[in-house]
Structures are given as C-alpha cells and as structure tokens.
Amino acid sequence: MRGTGQRGRSDGTNRAEKGVPEVIFIHPDGRREAVPAEDGQSIMQAATNAGVDGVIGECGGSLSCATCHVFVDEAWASRAPPRSDLEEDMLDAAAVEPTRFSRLSCQIKFAPDIDGIVVRIPTMQR
C-alpha cells in the first residue's frame, strides 16, 4: 500500500493514503494499523482485504462464526449502528468474552460518519 508508514502520525499509526477513508485497528500489543475502507464494505472485509492479523471472518460475513470480533473504541461506540438481535446472540460464541463495546465487525458497514473509527482486536478469535 503506497504511503504506508511513510508519513506516520504522532501516535505511531501508519498513514493510509491521504484522504482515503480508513478504519484503525489496534492490535493486542498496542500497535495501530490503519486500513482503507469503502462505503458499504464491512469493517471485517476491510480488515481481511488488507490482511489485518487477528481478524479472521471465517464465514465471510454470514453471522455464523464469531471470528471477526472487535471492541469498538469508547469514543466511537455510539456512532456505529446498533447491534441486531442475531449479532447480539452470536457474540456469545466469541472466543474472548464480549463487553458492551464488542461487535462482530462483519455487521458494521463502513460509512462516511465512521471514517477513522478505532477498533481493538481481541487476543484470539478461536
């Protein structure tokens, strides 16, 4: 990805290309990774397209595996559209105990109002 790491932010996050909508993943070791995201694409898809370590999405977004679990950063939590009942239910199957900030990232559709959303990757997905 052109530009990655060449213009880092003060907090150490790599920089995706300027102006490109992005999602920021925080790895369990604290490393921040910004990846480009397109409107309508799920955050899980953005992660798997960019090869983000720690987000699996085994079932490809059909809400049947719970391996795309992320914790939405508190500052962003209210901006993501709410969980559906099915998502709520499947979160119980996540390998790491869910919190109120937990989401299955295949269920969050990227949109301009969540450009720059920060999510944390759990220590394991299975």
Partner 1 sequence: MSITIETAASPGERGPAIVDLTDPESFAVDVPHAAFAAIRERPGLYWQPTTLGVANGGFWAVARFADIVAVERDPTTFSSSQGGAYPMTNQNPRSAEARTHLMMSDPPQHSRLRRAAAKGFSPRVVANFEPWVREIVREVLDCVEGKQEFDYVIEFARTIPGLVLARVLGIPDENRDALVSWAINVFDVMEPTEGLAEGQGMSEVVHAENFKMADFALRLQAAKRARPADDMFTQLGACVDNGELSQEEFLNWVLLMMAAGFETTHTAIGQSMRMYLENPEIAIATDRAIGDGLIDRVVDEYLRLITPPMQMARTATRDVAFAGEHVREGDVMVMYFIAGNRDPAVFSEPDRFNPWRTETETLAFGSGVHRCIGAHLAKLEVRILWEELRARRVMLRLKGQPRRGRSIFINQLKALPVRRV
Which one among 1, 17, 86, 99 touches partner 1, defined by CB under 8 A? 86
Mark 35-74 with x for binding to partner 1 (rule: CB under 8 A) and - for no binding.
Answer: -----------------------xxx-xxxxx--------
Calpha distance 34→1 (Å, rounded) = 11
Asked if 89 is part of the footprint of partner 1 (rule: CB under 8 A), the reply reads yes
Q: Which stretch binds partner 1 (CB under 8 A): 2-10, 76-84, 87-95, 103-111?
A: 87-95
Part of the chain binding partner 1 (CB under 8 A), chosen from 23-31, 71-79, 88-96, 99-107: 88-96
Q: Is 51 exposed, middle or buried (0-12, 13-18, 19+ CB in 10 A)?
A: exposed
CB atoms inside a 10 Å sphere around CB 7:
11
CA distance 29 to 37: 23
Give the chain's end-to-end CA distance (angstroms, integer): 28
| 92-111 footprint of partner 1 as x/- string (CB under 8 A) | xxxx-x--------------
Residue 16 or 90 having the CB closest to partner 1: 90
Residue found by looking up tokens 């559906």 in the block: 84
DSSP 121: P
Instruction: Assess contact for 83 and 50: CB atoms under 8 A.
Output: no
Residues of the shown chain interacting with partner 1 in the complex, contacts defined by CB under 8 A: 58-60, 62-66, 86, 89-90, 92-95, 97, 124, 126
